[in-house]
Amino acid sequence: MKNIISDPLNVINVGLAKFADPFVAHSVPVISCQWQPPAGGVAETAWQLAQITNNPIVEAANEIAFSRYLEANPILTGVGTAVDSIPGMGSKQILHSGPPVAWRDMCGPQQGAIIGAILFEGWSSTAEDAQKLAKNGDIELTPAQHLNAVGPMAGIISPSMPVWIVKNEMLGNLTYCNFNEGLGKVLRFGAYSDDVLNRLRWMADVLAPVLQEAVEIMGGLELKPLMASALHMGDEVHNRNAAATSLFFRKLAPAALQGSADKAQISEALSFIAGNDHFFLNLSMAACKSMLDAASGVENSSMVTVMARNGVQFGIRISAFPDRWFVTEAPLVEGLFFPGYTGADAAPDLGDSAITETAGVGGFAMAASPAIVQFVGGDVAQAVENSRKMQRITLGRNSAFTLPMLDFAGTAAGIDIRKVVDTGILPIINTGIAHKDAGVGQIGAGLTAAPLECFTQALRALYYNLNT
């Protein structure tokens, strides 16, 4: 006790921040250690967590799932029409982002995008009639994830729309994503004006054939090396894709120019891509989906394979239960708003693009993209810290995706529901912010996190599966 009183003190504070106040008041150096009870303080869930932490059955399953994710090699193999390319898609079906949601419960941007898709397909000539078709159940509305597809924001894919086709070379699983329309008033934010519909028709009639032939001439394109290079050039391949789009353009343009399409149409197609820094986003999403689908379906694995939102609910799926959603209310996004807009104008979190974070890029790789903080808020130190923090809730690192600012360490990957519930650290997501009303468009960008409730639901399900 004499030494404690007389010697200089250095204090580590565990628990409430106020515990440190008396020491701070007397100029004693204090390091605060963030800590909270596991499972949000719910004793029953904490006990279940304890039972499956270090469980050899779960550990073995995770080793299989994570290795399949790491070994996956997504290759862009083609471009096709959704109804002809996506197995199980019907001729009067529309795919949307996030977990299942009924028309009456959908957010404004998603309803607007479905109206636009109905008009694009020619199933109706007016927005009013299109709304009636959706409301009456004449159109089948299905989560894109159920058919191995993904889409940003509203995530709409209708039968006549062109899609990317990505194949995992290792297991042969196929994934799909729609094309990126660019910024401004676009379908994915719920806009369906004539200029939006005309752009979609041009993408189907002109852009898609040019890209289809170019991909055939290239003989396919490995996406992982391209994404890895983009991470070294300042992208995180979710909200910043300037480098990835440029790298893709360099591969695509020579092949497109060898194609048989009219040269004016080739020029239009290449100019459209060159003017859209986000063009690669949809390919990044399809690649990430391909890698995570490879890890899906491993019995007793606690690895997260899907994080998605529909503007109403946030949902996850884990490897052990590939066809089951664990959902809760979608959070709002904190970030930077465009002039004239505030948080009161924003829709809750929306889109399938969190598949990038699920695969260890996007928000998990913000240390690679210092410039992203100008778009989503925060500072460079926070971006680096976010990438470090994600290492505490993942099964390992992906050495294929390295981060220069972390001494080229691999990105944190393989979100483990057990670690999320234990630490309370939530997977970080950087994302665009949509206006709550259809058609207004993007009003900002920022950061959010996957809600804890999804992970506690999944953990309880895994516990009961192991004990029944």
Q: What is the pLDDT of residue 39?
A: 78
* Mean pLDDT lowest among 125-139, 191-205, 239-253, 438-452: 438-452
Per-residue tokens: 459: 């953990």
Coil/strand/helix, residue 288: helix
Is the separation of the CB atoms in 334 and 446 below 8 Å?
Answer: yes
Q: What is the pLDDT of residue 3?
A: 64
Query: Which residue blocks in 193-342 are alpha helix, DSSP H?
Result: 194-202, 208-218, 224-231, 242-257, 263-274, 281-295
Note the pLDDT tens digit of each residue in 164-174: 999 999 999 99
For residue 198, the Cα-to-chain-centroid distance in whole angstroms is 28
Note the pLDDT tens digit of each residue in 303-333: 999 999 999 999 999 999 999 999 999 999 9
Q: Is residue 2 predicted with pLDDT exceeding 70? A: no
Note the pLDDT tens digit of each residue in 117-130: 999 999 999 999 99
Coil/strand/helix, residue 48: helix
First to last CA, the chain: 53
Q: Look up the pTM and report it.
A: 0.92
Per-residue tokens: 374: 């100008």
Q: Is residue 291 predicted with pLDDT exceeding 80? A: yes
Per-residue tokens: 60: 């073995």
Adjacency order of strands within the sheet including 428-434:
334-337, 442-449, 428-434
Class of domain 43-69+294-466: alpha beta
Burial (CB count within 10 angstroms: exposed 0-12, middle 13-18, buried 19+), residue 118: buried
Q: Is the dihedral of CA 102, 319, 397, 237 positive or negative?
A: negative
Residue scoring higher pLDDT (14 or 124): 124
Q: Across all residues in the chain, what is the average pLDDT? A: 94
Coil/strand/helix, residue 316: strand
- 298 phi and psi angles, rounded to 5 deg: -95, 115
Adjacency order of strands within the sheet including 174-178:
149-150, 174-178, 162-168, 74-81, 221-222
- What are the domain boundaries of the chain? 2-35, 43-69+294-466, 74-285
Say which amino acid occupies 340. Answer: G
Distances (CA, A) of 216 to 76, 312, 359: 10, 39, 27
Q: What is the pLDDT of residue 151?
A: 97
Architecture of domain 74-285: Alpha-Beta Complex (3.90)
Per-residue tokens: 232: 């070294």
Note the pLDDT tens digit of each residue in 208-265: 999 999 999 999 999 999 999 999 999 999 999 999 999 999 999 999 999 999 999 9
Contacts of 447 (CB under 8 A, 6+ apart): 333, 334, 335, 363, 376, 377, 378, 428, 429, 430, 431
Average pLDDT on 346-374 reads 93
Q: What is the pLDDT of residue 195?
A: 95
Note the pLDDT tens digit of each residue in 23-62: 777 778 887 766 677 878 888 999 999 999 999 999 999 9
User: How many degrees, rounded to 5, is the angle at CA 370 between CA 364 and CA 371?
Assistant: 115
* 268/356 Cα distance (integer angstroms): 29
* 149/399 Cα distance (integer angstroms): 26
- The CA R_g of the chain, rounded to the nearest whole Å, is 23
Q: Which residues pair with 350 in a beta bridge?
A: 310
